[in-house]
Amino acid sequence: NLSKRLTMVTSFLPKGAAFADIGSDHAYLPCYVCLKDQTARAIAGEVNEGPYQSALKTVSHYHLNEAIDVRLGNGLQVLNEQDKVDQIVIAGMGGALIKSILEEGQTKLDNVTRIIAQPNIDARNVRKWFVDNNFIITSETIVEENQHIYEIIVADKKENGTLIRQDFTKQQLLFGPMLMENKTKAFYDKWKSEYEKTKRIIEQIKKATVMDKQKLNQFEEELLWIKEALE
Ligand code: SAM
């Protein structure tokens, strides 16, 4: 059984998807998709030997070797021209890492029409990257599972000639433009906990022998945004 988090991620793949799951670990996600949809094709990318071996094992176990290609390599480097990958999934990592994988893999994105990202932290980084790199955020969800809260961000490549650029405010980048329009229990739970975290950080900054005034201002501003978002 796939986790609620990863099942939610797969719900943004079309039928007959040709996708890459980068940082696939056990390759549970591509196996789930390809078992359900015989027309789906996947590449499971892993940078570490251990998870790479686990991915190979899961794929063989389900006899999915025809549908899923497991590859060892860093980020999008595992992809080539001939792969014709339409969608990319990057889940279960920090936003900074997801952003750097996308940034370093820019040249592999020519034919990609959709990226589904599930950053564990720093979703802001990922949203900013999409906005700055010709993608449009088309869906967002937030799910709670085993006391963790996860955000999923779906971005589609801009059509040629589309001039619109999503101009998000700092608050929209932080909270998610769609998530803040339609606040769910998970949203409130996440930001209540972030509120407490931010308050503790502010206390720490204030206690430091050399106080970083700029950092303090930044966190105090964010605390205010969070307070407003929770109202
Ligand atoms: N995507 C799965 C999920 O959401 O459950 C696994 C998440 S796991 C926490 C992160 C995985 O990403 C690890 O298996 C790690 O080896 C892999 N990883 C980290 N950096 C990577 C990179 N630059 N390229 C490919 N895989 C990477």
In a domain, 175, yes or no: no
Tell me: do 147 and 210 sit in the same domain: no
Q: What is the domain count for the chain?
A: 2
Domain boundary among 169, 200, 219: 169
In a domain, 81, yes or no: yes
In a domain, 181, yes or no: no
φ, ψ at 226 (rounded to 5°): -65, -40
Instruction: Tell me the C-alpha distance between 231 and 215, whole Å.
Output: 25
Instruction: Tell me the C-alpha distance between 152 and 87, whole Å.
Output: 14
Give, for ligand 1, the residue of 48, 72, 99, 103 to mutate: max count of ligand atoms closer than 8 Å to Cβ: 48
Domain boundary among 169, 200, 217: 169
Instruction: Specify the residue for token string 């070797």.
Output: 65
In a domain, 47, yes or no: yes
Tell me: do 113 and 32 sit in the same domain: yes
Residue 51 beta carbon below 6 angstroms from any ligand 1 atom:
yes
Tell me: do 136 and 44 sit in the same domain: yes
Is residue 216 within 8 Å of residue 206, measured between CB atoms?
Answer: yes
Structure tokens at 29: 């996600």
Give, for ligand 1, the residue of 28, 31, 47 to mutate: max count of ligand atoms closer than 8 Å to Cβ: 47
H helix intervals, the chain: 4-10, 28-36, 49-61, 95-104, 123-132, 170-175, 185-207, 213-230
In a domain, 179, yes or no: no
Domain boundary among 129, 144, 169: 169
Is residue 198 within 8 Å of residue 222, measured between CB atoms?
Answer: yes
Tell me: do 14 and 116 sit in the same domain: yes
Residue 107, class by beta-carbon neighbours within 10 Å (0-12 exposed, 13-18 middle, 19+ buried)? exposed
Tell me: do 17 and 126 sit in the same domain: yes
In a domain, 99, yes or no: yes
In a domain, 176, yes or no: no
Q: Could you read off the pLDDT of 39-59 as tens digits, one per residue?
A: 999 999 999 999 999 999 999
Tell me: do 17 and 111 sit in the same domain: yes
Q: How confident is the model at residue 160, as a pLDDT? A: 75
Structure tokens at 82: 């001939």
Tell me: do 117 and 42 sit in the same domain: yes
In a domain, 219, yes or no: yes
Residue 34 is part of a domain; what is its CATH number? 3.40.50.150
Tell me: do 9 and 110 sit in the same domain: yes
Q: How confident is the model at residue 164, as a pLDDT? A: 77
pLDDT in tens for each of the 231 residues of the chain? 999 999 999 999 999 999 999 999 999 999 999 999 999 999 999 999 999 999 999 999 999 999 999 999 999 999 998 999 999 999 999 999 999 999 999 999 999 999 999 999 999 999 999 999 999 999 999 999 999 999 999 999 998 777 778 899 999 999 999 999 999 999 999 999 999 999 999 999 999 999 899 999 999 999 999 999 999
First and final CA of the chain: distance in angstroms?
A: 37
- Domain of 220 in residue numbering reads as 186-230
Residue 75 beta carbon below 6 angstroms from any ligand 1 atom:
yes
Tell me: do 133 and 210 sit in the same domain: no
Tell me: do 136 and 66 sit in the same domain: yes
Q: How confident is the model at residue 159, as a pLDDT? A: 83
Tell me: do 140 and 223 sit in the same domain: no
Is residue 46 within 8 Å of residue 23, measured between CB atoms?
Answer: yes
Residue 74 beta carbon below 6 angstroms from any ligand 1 atom:
yes
Tell me: do 61 and 154 sit in the same domain: yes
* CA nearest ligand 1 atom 3, residue: 92
